[in-house]
Amino acid sequence: MKIFEQEVEGRIISNGQDAILNSSAEVFMKTSTVPKYSYNFSWLGRPIIQYPQDIIAMQELIWSVQPDLIIETGIAHGGSLIFSASMLELNAICGGLQDAEVLGIDIDIRSHNHEAIEAHPMFKRISMIQGSSVAPDIVDQVKTKVSGKQRVLVCLDSNHTYKHVLAELEAYAPLTSVGSYCVVFDTVVEDLPKEMFPNRPWGPGNSPKTAVWEYLKTHPEFEIDKSIQHKLLITVAPDGYLKRIN
């Protein structure tokens, strides 16, 4: 197994340095964004709105970190909450923590989505808070939830403007356990043409990636795990997989 893992590590490094391979991945990301490729997938019956590659990456992280709490900003249809809860359920079946849970925060949890999430078998591991993820009272509620938890994994996927994501990082990244991750989704906004976001307040220069870069200037306890994006090649979170190293 060790030899196989070494081969995988070598391939990842090689792929990350392969200009043609990376260029092809960039073309796919650009051409697949406008037709809303990521909107075509579901997890256990709920729309997840993610690229399959990032779903696999999150599965690997949840297995390796074995979190007892996953914090997610941005709920939408609830597919990501269901995914995270189902991964925690599998961890438990395999001998991991039995009471691990997922906390979702969204400024507007629409009633039909709320009802569908509550009706899902994985809801037993899910709780939700409605309100702005950066509002002080919401942040305080999340911190209360974190109290007593040993391993916390954070996923930021709500408003994608620089200001909002930086505020989320300041609020939630410190809750990430050492050895775990704070994953900032849609950093790819920085790498796509501005005209792809005609009706959005975010775009190149005002994106999750610019917030990540700013945050890391003063938070050396985090580093970008480049090996993940080199492995995936196709990802909405380049420079967004942040590992807490101390």
CA dist 65 → 4, 22, 98, 198, 244 (Å): 21, 28, 15, 38, 11
Structure token pair of residue 7: 């081969």
Model confidence at 132: pLDDT above 80 = yes
Closest CA to 214 of 178, 168, 149: 168
Strand 241-244 relative to strand 46-47: parallel, antiparallel, unpaired? Answer: unpaired
CATH number of domain containing 97: 3.40.50.150
Of 29, 22, 16, the C-alpha closest to 187 is: 29
Inter-residue contact 72 to 110 (CB < 8 Å): no
**pLDDT tens, 184-207?**
999 999 999 999 998 899 999 999
User: Average pLDDT, stretch 46-68?
Assistant: 98
Residue-averaged pLDDT of the chain: 97
Partner residues linked to 102 by β-bridges = 70, 126
Domain that holds residue 176: 2-244
End-to-end CA distance of the chain: 29
Of residues 71, 199, 187, 82, the one with CA closest to residue 138? 71
Q: How many domains does the chain have?
A: 1
Answer whether 0.95 is exceeded by the pTM.
yes
